[in-house]
Structure 1
Amino acid sequence: MQGVLTGFVVVASLVAVGYALGRAGVLGPAGQTVVSRLVFFVGSPALLVQTLADADVHVLFSGQLLVAAGGVLVTLVLWVPVAVLRWRLPRGEVVVGGLAGSFVNAANIGLPVAAYVLGDLTAVLPAMLLQMVVLAPAAVALLDLSGRSGRVGLAGLLVPLANPVLLASVAGIALSVTGWSLPTALSQPLGLLAGLAVPGALLAFGLSLHGREGRGWRAPPVLYASALKAFVQPLATWLVARALGLPDAAVYAATVVAALPTAQNVFTYAVRYEVGRELARDSVLVTTVLLAPVLLLVSVLLPH
């Protein structure tokens, strides 16, 4: 549990700083939006290029990728019909809620958990690559399109292709596949900009907590998305891993990664497209609180 506690301390510290900044009004009323946009347009693309360029893309075709994809698919299948038919949420909120129920915090919490709980930093790589290469580009493309009213012509359909998340993913994969390395004059500035992504997202999340409605987490969509993320996704991942015949250690690792809370990236996307902010923010909060008991339960029940 040391890894979980380390992750909590890191997250809580930066979120607390963001909250303090919001309470003091240091960044003004638009501070949260400015920080979130900086993360979306600068920090996240730089981190994507840097991470994917150094990653082994063969992981994309591994059994662990299929396991991670299976868990995500189950949560989306359970989320979308309820969000559309029962609550009749706008398309943008359906996308944000789907991410809230499936997009794991593989960076600032996942890496410490992988290091101290699993003893293997590469355990989070399949989920991270799935999110960077498939989920994030697909989600921002849908959010781009959902923000457009009326008929969408060819020009409108091409707009998502210019999204920084998608372009950064393509660039990172291209570097990995070709084996090319960026010159030092480019890689070092890129690394500095990539350092904005995680702390920036956490600061923006902390800024959003100032002045929030204290009971917002009780909203049915928030509770449902959080339950899918905290309980259903790990269970579905475990079932898929067992069905594929993975060894106990791999099943345990995949289940632990699936139990990670909703990533702050989801809130960043919600702020960028001005849709589902409360849903994203409160889902991140609820799933982060649930992480410790869920991981304890997984560690007790599963052989590893």
Structure 2
Amino acid sequence: MPGLVSAMQGFCVIGIVIAVGYVAARMRIGGASAQMVLNRFSFFVSSPCLMFAILSKEPLFDIFHPSIVVAFLSAVLVGVVFLVLNRLFFHLKAADAIIGALNSLYLNSNNIGLPIATYILGNPALVAPILVMQQALFTPVALTALDVTAKGKVSLKEIVKQPLHQPLLIASLAGILVSLVSQLTGTFIIPNFIFDPIDMIGDSAVPMILMAFGMSLYGTRPMQEKGDRPAVITVAVLKNVVMPAIAFLVAYFLMGFRGAELYACVVLAALPTGQNVYNYAARYNVGLTFARDGILLSTMTSPIFIAIIAVLLG
């Protein structure tokens, strides 16, 4: 299966970049604040540029493909399941529970999703609906909740203002608008001398996030927080096993997908947790260990389950 081999090579590339971040932290390259700088620059600058560059050139039909229904329902259901399990068994603090829910439902649609969509599914545009859903819906909702829990109070004014503080959402909506206008006019409306630097800056987002994640591993021992272990393992099971199973049921019975569409929905649901979750945890300084361990365990086990899905449905 050449496509599966290529996807595994993609995981190897990602692991190497994470390792570079770890080595850089170990050698103290960039100083003690290097990880924070990478996180903040990615959050406010490079990631928004990446989202704008991707979405502005995607046809609207690809951005709002019906498969977004499958992605939405499967993500929401596993997020709710984690919150219920937390209420019954784990009893994490509110902010940590939000990070746990994100760990369970947030897909690594960029740096792992794109190569898998390209090499296994044969169509990188398949991740576009997930990009829009996560940035336009899940991210602002989660960050609003983190704002509220971090400050210890609910402010309607802050909730209403929250989208204005989300550069990823603003960039995503701007990209969709450019895609719409370009489709209506029949030509891409952004001149190359403006688009090219945006695209160039966006290319730095994924390596920055990965290296910051690698830096976070230095000086720490994953899965050493014994109290968090059951929750971390639960997150990985929800993300890599339960979510693909739900996606299959929704795609097959509710949406009536078969063949390539069904296969794509299940494979994408098995993507590991996105490193963005750690970025958000670092942004609010909550659940850092939980986020890191959940992402790491999910990323380590995801290739196994994607391979199983490829064998069963490919």
TM over 0.5: yes
1:261 and 2:304 matched? no
Structure 1 distance, partners of 2:311, 2:158, is: 53
Query: What is the root-mean-square deviation of aligned Cα atoms in Å?
Result: 1.9
Structure 1 segment 1-304 matched on structure 2, within 5 A: 1-59=4-62, 61-152=64-155, 154-155=157-158, 157-179=160-182, 181-216=189-224, 219-243=229-253, 244-302=255-313, 304=314
Q: Deviations over 1:107-155 (max 9, x none)?
A: 2212221222222222322222222222223222322333222352525
Aligned partners of 1:137 and 1:165 also within 8 Å: no
Aligned partners of 1:3 and 1:114 also within 8 Å: no
Q: Which amino acid aligns with 1:247?
A: R
Structure 2 distance, partners of 1:169, 1:91, is: 28
TM-score using structure 1 length? 0.92
- Hey, which bits of structure 1, 4+ residues long, moved more than 4 A? none
Please report how far the alpha carbon of residue 156 of structure 1 lies from its aligned counterpart in structure 2 after TM superposition.
6.0
Aligned partners of 1:84 and 1:94 also within 8 Å: no
Q: Deviations over 1:205-252 (max 9, x none)?
A: 100010112433761121111110010110000110111211222111
Aligned partners of 2:42 and 2:209 also within 8 Å: yes
Structure 2 distance, partners of 1:185, 1:139, is: 35
TM-score using structure 2 length? 0.90
Structure 1 distance, partners of 2:129, 2:176, is: 14
Structure 2 distance, partners of 1:250, 1:217, is: 40
* Identity score, percent: 34
| Secondary structure of the structure 1 residue equivalent to 2:120 | helix
Aligned length: 303
Structure 1 distance, partners of 2:59, 2:143, is: 24
Aligned partners of 1:241 and 1:251 also within 8 Å: yes
Aligned partners of 1:217 and 1:286 also within 8 Å: no
Q: Which amino acid aligns with 2:263?
A: Y
Q: State which drifts further: 292-301 or 282-291.
A: 292-301
1:64 to 1:214, Cα distance in 2 relative to 1, 3 A: closer
Q: Which amino acid aligns with 2:208?
A: G
Q: Which amino acid aligns with 2:115?
A: P
